Amino acid sequence: MTSFSVNAERLVARIRDLGAIGRDTDGRLTRLAASETEKAGRDQFCAWVRNAGLEIAIDRIGNIFGIWHSNENRHEAPVLIGSHIDTVINAGIYDGCYGVLSGLEVIETLKTEGFAPSRPIAVAVFTNEEGVRYAPDMMGSLVYAGGLPVEKALAAVGTDGTMLGEELQRIGYAGSEEPGFLKPSAYVELHIEQGPVLEREGVSIGAVENLQGISWQRVTIDGVANHAGTTPMSMRRDAGHAAARVITFLHDRATASNTPTVATVGCINFEPNAVNVIPSRATFTVDLRDPDEDRLKAEEAALAGYLTELAAAGGLTITAERLARFEPVTFDKHIVELIEATAGRRGLTSKRMTSGAGHDAQMIARIAPSAMIFVPSIGGISHNPREYTPDADLIAGANILLDVVQRLATGQ
């Protein structure tokens, strides 16, 4: 098989250009799903896709597909490459965008080189991967894989009170294709690791063989507002203090467990949120993850037990609502082996690994053989503007994606 290489300058320039879209006046990058800033990112992506001579298709949940097919292969199942371009608040420029833009780069390279694949190759931008504005995360790929009815997803109400379906209409990305309209023969997602392992071990490529389970809940604790100066400590029903105890419980339990379990409380609100009023209500999110489903279930049960105890002891009312729940996923063995072999052929070191972050591949694995390729994240930092991967590592990863897709598209 002839070996090609991606256009390094074009790929790096596009990552920077997309990363400049959605900056606020303080220079912070925030492109929440279906927002005005994300529309600008989508428009830029579509312009590049059109320029590359690909067909654009948009489905009802707003997933965008850039499709390269020929008259000969148009009826075959495509190889799909994908990721997302929505971001968290105050994000880095690589998470999701690197995979999407490398997917486009791979197609453009193969097209320019005159490669004739025996099946179409498509690049996908999945809607609302981050789940910051609308829950659950990985929503576009989940709907695409048939895991959530599109009507239910479109009716999701965001943290700002908006409805996803209306926002997609407003920004012009409520497409007409039925989610799932392209049934991929294989799915590959290239992503920055977002963790410290590859850099620490000096390994270039992660061949991602599985992805941990994710459990998101929103907990509401109701106590009683009262005067901060006059209410004796023994007479308080303090929702704020109870929330702090839950945070400590989760943190200490995960830290002491000696397992890969991780627990995070990333969002919290007090009511009435005043310096001299005991909080009457605390609302916060819980993000629990573990590669082992039984252990993840045990962590959820332990939290539920603790909330019951806390409610009884403190005269509080506590409710928990599920926001997202995904079981761990094992990726396709053959694609993982292909990634390793490809890295070897390019003279790059590789390592099998587990993804700690959620990804669209986790959803698409339900409908097609799937796997992921990771490249190092300096300092293991992500969901942070300091997220960084050197250009050489980005290019190396994109070339692995190129080789893997080339093989998958020829059945070699």
Residues at the contact surface with Mn ion, assessed by CB under 5 A: 95-96
Binding mask 118-147 for ligand GLV (x = CB under 6 A): ------------x------x----------
What string of H, E and C letters represents the secondary structure of 263-300?
EECCCEEEECCCCCECCCEEEEEEEEEECCHHHHHHHH
How, if at all, do strands 329-330 and 186-192 pair? Answer: unpaired
d(C-alpha 167, C-alpha 171), whole Å: 6
Query: Least CB distance from residue 287 to ligand GLV, whole Å?
Result: 7
The entry of Mn ion, ligand GLV, none that residue 358 binds, CB within 5 to 8 Å by partner kind: ligand GLV
The entry of ligand GLV, Mn ion, none that residue 105 binds, CB within 5 to 8 Å by partner kind: none
Query: Least CB distance from residue 134 to Mn ion, whole Å?
Result: 14
204 within 8 A of 376, measured Cβ to Cβ: yes
Q: Specify the residue, 314 or 358, whose C-beta has the smaller distance to ligand GLV.
A: 358
Residue 376 has which token pair? 């190092």
Query: Least CB distance from residue 292 to ligand GLV, whole Å?
Result: 17
Establish if 290 lies at the interface with ligand GLV (CB under 6 A).
no
Query: Least CB distance from residue 18 to ligand GLV, whole Å?
Result: 17
Residue 139 has which token pair? 């929503």
Q: Specify the residue, 136 or 175, whose C-beta has the smaller distance to ligand GLV.
A: 136
Query: Least CB distance from residue 341 to ligand GLV, whole Å?
Result: 28
| Residues between 26 and 85 that touch ligand GLV (CB under 6 A) | none
Query: Least CB distance from residue 357 to ligand GLV, whole Å?
Result: 4
Please, which contacts does 294-299 make with residues 24 or more away whose CB atoms are closer than 8 Å? 295/259, 295/261, 296/212, 296/213, 296/215, 296/261, 296/328, 299/215, 299/253, 299/254, 299/261, 299/263
194 within 8 A of 357, measured Cβ to Cβ: yes
| Residues between 317 and 376 that touch ligand GLV (CB under 6 A) | 357-358
Which DSSP symbol is given to 379? G
Place of tokens 């927002």: 35
Q: Specify the residue, 95 or 340, whose C-beta has the smaller distance to Mn ion.
A: 95
Q: Which helix (H) or strand (E) holds 353?
A: strand 350-355
Q: Specify the residue, 158 or 358, whose C-beta has the smaller distance to ligand GLV.
A: 358
The entry of ligand GLV, Mn ion, none that residue 99 binds, CB within 5 to 8 Å by partner kind: none
Q: Specify the residue, 357 or 394, whose C-beta has the smaller distance to ligand GLV.
A: 357
- Report cis status (omega within 30 of 0) of the bond before 78: no
Q: Specify the residue, 279 or 376, whose C-beta has the smaller distance to ligand GLV.
A: 376
Q: Which of these, 206, 379, 242, lies nearest to 319 by C-alpha position?
A: 242
The entry of Mn ion, ligand GLV, none that residue 299 binds, CB within 5 to 8 Å by partner kind: none
The entry of ligand GLV, Mn ion, none that residue 117 binds, CB within 5 to 8 Å by partner kind: none
Establish if 103 lies at the interface with ligand GLV (CB under 6 A).
no
What does the radius of gyration of the chain's CA atoms come to, in whole angstroms? 23
Query: Least CB distance from residue 138 to Mn ion, whole Å?
Result: 9
Q: Specify the residue, 221 or 363, whose C-beta has the smaller distance to Mn ion.
A: 363
Binding residues for ligand GLV, total number by CB under 6 A: 4
Place of tokens 């959803």: 363
The entry of Mn ion, ligand GLV, none that residue 137 binds, CB within 5 to 8 Å by partner kind: ligand GLV
Query: Least CB distance from residue 130 to ligand GLV, whole Å?
Result: 5
Q: How far does Cα 266 stand from its chain's mean position? A: 16
269 within 8 A of 283, measured Cβ to Cβ: yes
Establish if 99 lies at the interface with ligand GLV (CB under 6 A).
no
Query: Least CB distance from residue 120 to Mn ion, whole Å?
Result: 24
Q: Specify the residue, 95 or 238, whose C-beta has the smaller distance to Mn ion.
A: 95
Q: Specify the residue, 95 or 403, whose C-beta has the smaller distance to Mn ion.
A: 95
Q: Specify the residue, 108 or 137, whose C-beta has the smaller distance to ligand GLV.
A: 137
d(C-alpha 274, C-alpha 329), whole Å: 44
d(C-alpha 341, C-alpha 186), whole Å: 17
Q: Which of these, 106, 304, 281, lies nearest to 189 by C-alpha position?
A: 106
Establish if 205 lies at the interface with ligand GLV (CB under 6 A).
no
Buried b vs exposed e over 254-272: b needs ≥16 C-beta within 10 Å? beebeeebbbebeeeebbe
Query: Least CB distance from residue 288 to ligand GLV, whole Å?
Result: 12
Q: Rule CB under 6 A: which residues touch ligand GLV?
A: 130, 137, 357-358
